[in-house]
Amino acid sequence: MSTSFEARLQAIIGGKTKPVGSLGRIEALAMQIAKLQETDQPDTSSCGLTLFAGDHGMALAGVSAYPQSVTRQMLLNFLSGGAAANVFADVLGVSMQVVDAGVAGEPVNHPELLSRRIRGGTNDAIEGPAMTPDEFDRALAAGRLLGEQADDPVVAFGDMGIGNTAASSLVTAKLTGADVGDLTGRGTGLDDEGLKRKRSLLQRAAARTETHLTARDALREYAGFEMVMIAGAMLGAARARRLVLVDGFICSAAALAALGIDPDIKDALVFAHRSAESGHAPLLAALNGDPLLDLGLRLGEGTGALLVWPLVKAAGAFLTDMASFDSAGVSGPA
């Protein structure tokens, strides 16, 4: 990115019919999009959500308030249009596709389901690696290809997988050196006793590997297939100069790992919201991420990323459609 192009963008933004800086973070967002696409006429015409579903072996140990079978049930709910992600995507005009990354049980047969299934769930990461090196490579490559080949200039990724807040706490701990207990929240709504059990199980899982792991090793040891595919999709989308709307705790953990694999994708990432999940604030601090919204969300599914889409669309339109002082015949600042 040349300094002359950046200076021209600043001049265009500063010349719009408004006091300098009066649109705050919308101006910064417009600048980010334009720099990513390398044009002063950025394309924010459409957004697509890809929702990845996968199961976690450690869910059977009791790290969630919900049984593992809910992943499959919610997969069917997404396909029938009944989940929050479906409702938000529909009202906001966002296209949505659902991916089976590795849901437990027999493969789901549905004409609108995209199967990138590695196998029916990961191993129990409390006792050993969640996946083999080959499974990790296949999941990352599948996600990367989906990100590269997306139809939209702006993309969001969502997650579904009982146990994935536990996995995200472990991945974050291994990438930041933080104590996993400090990153462990209630997830799907554990009571005090359930939270205590979850922390104990995750501390046991964390103890079986070194304090710090590489991004690839952290994902392979502790993540779900859906999380690895999200990390891969972020890598692929960013390299294709698509803007990536990063959802909550699970997607932020995937983003941290993706940045560990390729730090150059940072300029493509927009952090959508600050989740109510207790591990998300320290994770955002590690990412140096300043989210646009703080609504007390902790659902996942890409719902927070979807809610940011209107802001992104407005930022693009601000740059491309808003009049300048010269074109509107309006007097600028004295």
Active site residues: 301
Please name the helix (run of DSSP H) or strand (run of DSSP E) that holds residue 250, with its range, or none. helix 249-261
Query: Residue 37: what residue type?
Result: Q
Please report, as a single letter, which amino acid is at residue 304.
G
Total Cβ atoms within 10 A of residue 75:
24
| Interacting residues of 134 by C-beta distance below 8 A, sequence separation 6+ | none
Q: What is the Cα–Cα distance from 94 to 299, expressed in whole angstroms?
A: 18
| CB hemisphere CA count around 150 (13 angstroms) | 34
Dihedral through CA 130, CA 156, CA 255, CA 78, nearest 10?
-20
Name, in order, each residue with C-beta under 8 angstroms of 80's C-beta and a sequence gap of 6 or more.
none
Residue 333's Cβ-count burial label (10 Å; 0-12, 13-18, 19+) is exposed
Amino acid at 32: Q
Give the tokens for residue 246: 């990063």
Q: Scanning the structure block, which residue is given the tokens 């049980």?
A: 105
Q: What is d(CA 283, CA 274) in angstroms, rounded to the nearest whole number?
A: 10
Instruction: Report DSSP letters for 259-301, one per residue.
Output: HHH-GGGGGGEEE-B--SSTTHHHHHHHHT---SB-------T
